[in-house]
Amino acid sequence: EQHILDQLPLRGKKVLLTAGPTHEAIDPVRFIGNHSSGKMGFEIAKASAALGAEVILISGPTHESVNNSAIKLINVVSAQEMYDAAHRYFNDVDIAILSAAVADYRPKKVASQKLKKDDSSLSLELERTQDILKSLGAIKKHQYLVGFALETMNELANAKSKLASKNLNMIVLNSLNDTGAGFGGSTNKVTFITNSGQELSHALKSKAAVAQDLMQFILKQTHA
């Protein structure tokens, strides 16, 4: 019995994930988006399910798909929809890992008709979206909360300041500097940083392997 439980250490646990980009509407046919593929988040979903967890995967628009009864996929489009979905499930989960590339800004007004090219230039006024991760950090109780940080300069310092300001248990620093890592590709180079001061740098690996490293690391951290 103990042996079986060890193979599914997350059995009975719930994991909330965000993945992919968000799309912020400009008009009925246009949006502001980014190049996030969603691969990292979907790999974390599979790795969590393989350890026995019940997974809630909130994803922006991607080409990824899942075929696993332990993974409940919730498709959203905008940062606001992702925020609402994340808050709907957060109270009930044990671990939350937010890997989505959420738009930081959205058009202040969404045109109800397709914009016409009337003028020689066009300015869009943007407003801030809500920070989903920070909002969960502000209300977290028992949850182990994990963020991602994509940095191109002062990587470690910026990641550590996000870890603190968003009240996280851990942050995964994603290095774009190294070839092959980051958006779009199937590999990633990451450093795990915890709020207890641990720092663990990994070699360039497949996103599937990074997801497994991450879940094993979280298991150790939450073992208590």
**Binding residues for ligand CTP (CB under 6 A):** 18, 79, 98, 100, 102, 104, 129, 131-133, 147-150, 162
DSSP annotation of 184: S
Contacts of 31 (CB under 8 A, 6+ apart): 23, 24, 25
166 is in an annotated binding site: yes
148 is in an annotated binding site: yes
Q: Tell me whether residue 102 or residue 208 sits nearer to ligand CTP (CB atom).
A: 102
13 is in an annotated binding site: no
User: Of 4-12, 44-52, 96-104, 188-196, which part binds Ca ion (CB under 5 A)?
Assistant: 96-104
- Residue 152 binds to Ca ion (criterion: CB under 5 A): no
**If contact means CB under 5 to 8 A according to the sort of partner, which of Ca ion, ligand CTP, none does residue 207 touch?**
none
Q: How far is the CB of 101 from Ca ion (least distance, A)?
A: 7
Strand-pair partners of 200? 192
140 is in an annotated binding site: no
Is 137 within 8 Å of 86 (Cβ atoms)? no
**If contact means CB under 5 to 8 A according to the sort of partner, which of ligand CTP, Ca ion, none does residue 129 touch?**
ligand CTP
CA 63/CA 210 separation, integer angstroms: 20
User: Of 101-109, 155-163, 167-175, 210-218, which part binds Ca ion (CB under 5 A)?
Assistant: 101-109
Is 148 within 8 Å of 63 (Cβ atoms)? no
Q: Tell me whether residue 174 or residue 212 sits nearer to ligand CTP (CB atom).
A: 174
Q: How far is the CB of 13 from ligand CTP (least distance, A)?
A: 20
CA 191/CA 177 separation, integer angstroms: 13
- Closest by CA to 39, choosing from 15, 70, 14, 17, is 17
Note the helical H segments in the chain.
2-7, 39-50, 79-90, 132-139, 155-165, 207-222
Q: Tell me whether residue 26 or residue 132 sits nearer to ligand CTP (CB atom).
A: 132
116 is in an annotated binding site: no
Amino acid (1-letter code) at residue 67? N
Annotated active-site positions, please?
34
Binding annotation for CTP: 104, 114, 148, 162, 166
Q: Which residues bind Ca ion (CB under 5 A)?
A: 104
